[in-house]
Amino acid sequence: MMIRLDGEITDLLPGIQALTPALGITVSREEGLLVRVERSGSGLAAGLDDGEAYIRYEHKHQFYRALGLFVQHARNGQPFNMKEQQHFAQVGPMFDLSRNAVLTVDSFKRMLNMLALMGMNTVMLYMEDTYAIEVEPYFGYMRGRYSPEELKEIDDYADQFGIEAFPSIQTLAHLEEFLKWEPVSYYKDTKGALLVGDERTDQLVERMVETATAPFRSRKIHIGMDEAEELGRGKYLDRNGYTERFNIMTAHLNKVLESVRSRGLQPMMWSDMFLKLASADGREYYDTDTAIPDDMAARIPRGVDMVYWDYVNTEREVYEKLIAAHRPLGNRLVFAGAVWIFNTFGVNYGLSLGASDTALQVCKEQGIDEVYATMWGDDGNEGNPFAAMLGLQLYAEHAYTSGKPAWEQIAERVKFCTGIDADTYLLLKHLDETPGAEPDNRKQSNPSKFLLYQDVLLGLFDKQIEGLPLDAHYAELGERIKQSRTAGLRQDEAFDVPEKLCGVLKLKSEIGIKLKAAYDGGDLEALVRMAKVELPAISEAVGQLRAVHRALWLRTFKPFGWEVLDIRYGGVVNRLETASVRLLDYADGRIARIEELEQERLVYSSANRFNNRGLGWCSYYYRMASPNVFYHIVNPF
């Protein structure tokens, strides 16, 4: 399609030129369909009627959504007139850039192209220690940290679409990866929390705030401060004696806010610690009965936006009660939901879409006008944000729909903005939404990860999956993913790893159960076949998975962090080889028994299908791979 844009478009041209390949259009000054571009006082509009074509927009970012809508509907040649109002003042994703998967600048640009077509207008960069601080060489050392120049390039690219990029950092806890270094131990209170009240810590925070915000146009900064339960329980306790965590936190928060405000910045922070400290046991965040006492509310600093994060609830009453519980904090409220790519190789779309759909409807009703879709990368980040685009599309369509957006609208838009069918994205949920899991995987089972990493001789999760046809499930799923692929489309590469993972799990899911049964039954022929044929076949499939995962990682992320997954894949292959050796030693009489297979299989945890809590969940690779000691923390503080 060739179009000729008429109007004041000088400021829009860089963004238009960036999007023309994805849109499949040519913009000409002299030829093509004439499209009048005008600023509007209210929302956006696009239309084609009686040969008259137009795009109207109120804010810069709305132009690119309107451009996409125009192209999407003009292709069929039928008249149309569309108008949309934006119901969230700010909407966008939060990318976790702190748990090994640091997006390259080029990957960030590719992501921003799709966000622009969706109509997003903000993006949060979560960086614990992955931005360079000139006088802190250990800050982000060997972790793929961004240089100021890289962050500026990301900000410049986002700005051409009218998208506001800004940093989300940590100024209190969640700094384990920096504080692990012995040369900076003087900053450390506990394993992950800063030693507050120390002058050197105050100076560090000053440098954090200055360095993280300098590359960005935005005056916003997220200062973190979530999940700081260990605050004041290490060196701080030794120096100062017992002090209420609330008092420690508010004193430190006030110092951070001094640094932020002196630079003219607008801060936001996670809200959970205040609700936890006000709860009955001092730890519960989702307690709908929590009430902020008046004396606590009076001491909470004002002028810092509180970010209420909620990734799991699907009932509107829960959101209504928890929003009400936040009101006494006395600050503007922001909401952060999630697209669940964390602790899985897929996307838990069942929980993500259900929880987010309800949350966003309640946010509109409650007047919360700034929302984010977090995509955390817990425990090494096997997931991929490009697989999460259907979830981001849900947020975008909610932003431009007064009520609940129709599924057909979401599906049409995600196909246009990414090139991938909604049903193809939804296949990824079945990596974890397997036989034995709860409907929509609301209990957050993650068998795609623990079945890959669990040891075939130890079978830590075998009791939880026994009797379930998981080999067949993954065989069928792998074929469905393969048949749904869109050849030649860049976004399609996000399905490389899920497809190859199914190739592993169709062989490996139930192999531990079969091994145990053959051993207990004295079936030496079966044990030999497994040792010589089945286990080597699994090892070969793991090698294929690793190869495509490595290629995708190095195209998407900086190389730092891949070594973790390389080591994990190597561990799977090495343990398969050891299992083969031990089976053959037993079959040939060189050993009298295989002690690992003598052990009774127990359920892994209280989260299992026998008590309707899902198929199983584990947050940590090292607990999936072995019940034995990977490392021993003598002093966690």
Domain ranges of the chain: 2-84, 90-428, 433-625
Sign, CA dihedral 145-148-153-158, equals: positive
pLDDT of residue 634: 60
Task: Give Cα 556 distance to the centre of its chain.
Answer: 15
Please state, in angstroms and rounded to a whole number, the distance separating the CA atoms of residues 373 and 124.
Answer: 9
Matching residue, tokens 């925070």: 205
As beta bridge partners, residue 628 has: none
Give the total residue count for the chain: 637
Contacts of 44 (CB under 8 A, 6+ apart): 55, 56, 57, 58, 62, 63, 65, 66, 69, 83, 84, 86, 119
Residue 191: what residue type? K
Residue-by-residue DSSP string for 148-201: HHHHHHHHHHHHTTT-EEEEE--SSS--HHHHTSGGGGGGBSSSSSB-TT-HHH
Q: At what angle do helices 407-418 and 389-399 cross, to 10 degrees?
A: 120
What's the fold here for domain 433-625?
Four Helix Bundle (Hemerythrin (Met), subunit A) (1.20.120)
Strands, E, within 211-312: which ranges? 220-222, 266-270, 305-309
What phi, psi does 67 have (nearest 5°)? Answer: -60, -45
Q: Are 295 and 427 in contact (CB under 8 A)?
A: no
Please state, in angstroms and rounded to a whole number, the distance separating the CA atoms of residues 83 and 56.
Answer: 9
Q: Is 484 exposed, middle or buried (0-12, 13-18, 19+ CB in 10 A)?
A: middle
Class of domain 2-84: alpha beta
- State how beta strands 80-84 and 44-49 pair: antiparallel
What phi, psi does 57 have (nearest 5°)? Answer: -155, 150
pLDDT of residue 68: 98
Q: What is the mean pLDDT of each run of 10 residues along the chain (637 residues)?
A: 95 98 93 95 94 96 98 93 97 98 98 98 98 98 98 98 98 97 97 96 98 98 95 95 95 97 98 94 92 94 97 97 96 98 97 98 98 97 97 98 97 98 98 96 96 98 97 98 93 97 98 98 98 98 98 98 98 98 98 98 94 94 96 64
pLDDT of residue 281: 87
The pTM (predicted TM-score) of the whole model is 0.97
Rg over alpha carbons for the chain, rounded to the nearest Å, is 26
Neighbours of 498 (CB within 10 A): 26
Q: Are 521 and 555 in contact (CB under 8 A)?
A: no
pLDDT of residue 635: 62
Using alpha carbons, list the distances in angstroms from residue 38 to 75, 79, 87, 116: 21, 19, 21, 18
Q: Which CATH number fits domain 90-428: 3.40.50.880, 3.90.1150.10, 3.20.20.80, 3.40.50.80?
A: 3.20.20.80
- State how beta strands 266-270 and 26-27 pair: unpaired
Alpha-helical runs (H) found in 439-510: 447-453, 462-465, 470-484, 496-508
pLDDT of residue 585: 98
Please state, in angstroms and rounded to a whole number, the distance separating the CA atoms of residues 52 and 67.
Answer: 15
Using alpha carbons, list the distances in angstroms from residue 185 to 129, 189, 473: 15, 9, 49
